[in-house]
Structure 1
Amino acid sequence: MNHSERQPRNRTYLMCPPEHFTVEYAINPWMDTTVPVDAALAVKQWSVLRDTLGDLGHTVHVLDAVPGLPDMVYAANGAFSVDGAVYGARFRFPERAAEADAHAAFYGAGGWRFAGPAHINEGEGDFAYLPAAYGGLVLAGYGFRTDPSAHAEAQEVLGRPVLSLRLVDPAFYHLDTALAALDDRTIAYYPGAFSEGSQRVLAQLFPDAVIADREDAEAFGLNLVSDGRHVILNTEAIAMGDRVRAAGYHPVHVDLSELKRGGGSVKCAVAELRP
């Protein structure tokens, strides 16, 4: 398939600037409290990502950063929306709990149909949506952060089938570190992040998926944002960029080296809003 056949679709995103970003605690294998964060560089890199999305024709809403919430830059974790319905987040770690309130307030002010969760889940960190696959399919990760009970709860809230996928490698603790939607029906993923049963399910449902290797995943190459044609990846993910190019997409590389210190990259910083 050549590039011209991949069609972008205008998206709406939510981001939060890393104005208070630091690595003050370690809640994933990538966080090192002994290495200082360059806050100014983090803001600069984040701004380039925001501008890149805008230059591609997408709408970016900005959520105000809250002092004392250094991980709030990872806006994808705050909720998950499908067709105007929003399933709110409930964080695993108390350090991040108040982020959910800021996101709930954003959706409440915007007139969304918001449902607060009873079960622990970390928003788009562990949920991905494919509107053209099987009539609208939610892929949902569990094993480290999100409680599998949240998957059934999300299905009730969103009215979309939710497929549970078990993550088994602590380096890939959120679904969005191991799997990404490239367009409305196509995914890329790293099989080794998933249990054997989940690997079989993914292979059955997505025979045309772009398969990443461990090196791609460790470079946060699957923590990407795609509009169906343009795939925004971090600058370390060169091999993953080559893979998506071979599949007919157009890779766009952005440097997010500072945000990686907190265990996140492009997708972690971007929540998709689906009115």
Structure 2
Amino acid sequence: MRTPRRSAIPRRYLMCPPAYFRVSYSINPWMDPGKPVDLAVAQAQWEDLRDRYRALGHTVEELVPHPGCPDMVFTANGATVVDGRVLGARFAFAERGAEAAVHARWYREHGFADVREPLHINEGEGDFAVTASWLLAGRGFRSSPLSHAEAQEYFRRPVIGLDLVDPRFYHLDTALCVLDGGDGEPGGRGAEIMYYPGAFSPGSRAVLARLFPDAVVASAADAAAFGLNAVSDGLHVLLPAGAVGLFGPLRERGFEPLGMDLGELLKGGGSVKCVTAEVRPG
């Protein structure tokens, strides 16, 4: 197989320092209040990721953390931005509910005129993965199936629903990563993904296999290392360093995997993608 030539596309990301990060409650299987968080290590790991993005030529803006929102470091959950339109979040758990208004305010204050407060529960890019042609949308543990029709109407792109069945992979972005969004043109370059089949229902696995027959398929071990909670700029793929089985397949497809250590933040159930919201311009 000929290795494709890849190129990085400059991105704009929104991140939030983990100044108040802690695990004082449990709303996913990864969170254990009995395991203390080393906040200094969490901060250093977060800064390493932020600085790596900037070194790669990407813009990183920072959301001011709030003391009452310990999970605000996971900015991917705060909204979904497509073509400059912002669909806010409505969190499934009260512990994170206050974050939604903080994110919506940030977008309004930074020039986004079209910011919608959702009617149905969705947790932003946790369950919405964006390609040039459509949105892949997770459901089963957090986001409501009703949020899919709401997103389709708002973004005016087809939304493809996918059922998550393993509680360890409670958000779509823990089980699937868009590596290349494609060009959205009929007959043009299609989107490319990597995913873990075991996180999905049989029907959803069949849909993914039909849409993405050449996808990178992750092993159970790499999925458990949160290897799919990754960010791609079209060339570089930043992912947890422990997902060693993904590095070779990514290189074979022309991507450059970059291993990151976000072990302290994983105690809250998130890694590279969870702490990275992509701000897509209109």
TM > 0.5: yes
Maintained 8 Å contact 1:2/1:248: no
Is 2:248 the counterpart of 1:251?
no
- How far apart are residue 241 of structure 1 and its match? 2.0
Question: In structure 2, which of residues 165, 169, 173 is the aligned counterpart of residue 168 of structure 1?
Answer: 165
Amino acid at match of 1:178: A
Specify the SS of the correspondent of 1:105: helix
Amino acid at match of 1:63: L
- How far apart are residue 254 of structure 1 and its match? 1.1
> What does residue 77 of structure 1 align with?
77
Amino acid at match of 2:168: A
**1:204-236 CA-partner distances (Å, limit 9, x unpaired):** 111111111111110000000000110001121
**1:138-166 CA-partner distances (Å, limit 9, x unpaired):** 00000000000001001111111100000
What are the within-5 Å matches in structure 2 for residues 1-275 of structure 1?
5-112=5-112, 113-131=114-132, 136-184=133-181, 185-275=191-281
**How far apart in 2 are the matches of 1:96 and 1:241?**
33
> What does residue 188 of structure 2 align with?
none
- How far apart are residue 169 of structure 1 and its match? 0.5
Specify the SS of the correspondent of 1:201: helix
Specify the SS of the correspondent of 1:153: helix
Maintained 8 Å contact 1:189/1:212: yes
Maintained 8 Å contact 1:210/1:247: no
**1:103-140 CA-partner distances (Å, limit 9, x unpaired):** 00011112221111000000000000111xxxx21000
Q: How many equivalent pairs are there?
A: 271
**How far apart in 2 are the matches of 1:180 and 1:64?**
27
Maintained 8 Å contact 2:3/2:252: no
Give 1 or 2: higher helix fraction.
1
Gaps of 5+ in 2: 182-190
Maintained 8 Å contact 1:3/1:250: no
Mean Cα displacement is larger for which, 244-253 or 139-148?
244-253
Specify the SS of the correspondent of 1:269: coil
Aligned sequence identity (%): 58
Maintained 8 Å contact 2:219/2:245: no
- How far apart are residue 248 of structure 1 and its match? 1.6
Maintained 8 Å contact 1:233/1:241: no
Specify the SS of the correspondent of 2:274: helix
Using the size of structure 2 for normalisation, the TM-score is 0.94
**1:156-183 CA-partner distances (Å, limit 9, x unpaired):** 1111110000000001000000000001
Specify the SS of the correspondent of 1:181: strand
Maintained 8 Å contact 2:8/2:233: yes
Query: CA 1:246–1:109 in 2, change beyond 3 Å: closer, same or farther?
Result: same
Amino acid at match of 1:67: P
Maintained 8 Å contact 1:178/1:217: yes
Structure 1 outlier segments of 4+, above 2 Å: 1-4
Amino acid at match of 2:169: F
**How far apart in 2 are the matches of 1:111 and 1:146?**
27
- How far apart are residue 247 of structure 1 and its match? 2.0
Specify the SS of the correspondent of 1:170: coil
Gaps of 5+ in 1: none
Query: CA 1:205–1:70 in 2, change beyond 3 Å: closer, same or farther?
Result: same
Mean Cα displacement is larger for which, 4-13 or 16-25?
4-13
Amino acid at match of 1:117: P
Could you say what the CA RMSD is over the residues aligned between the two structures, in angstroms?
1.0
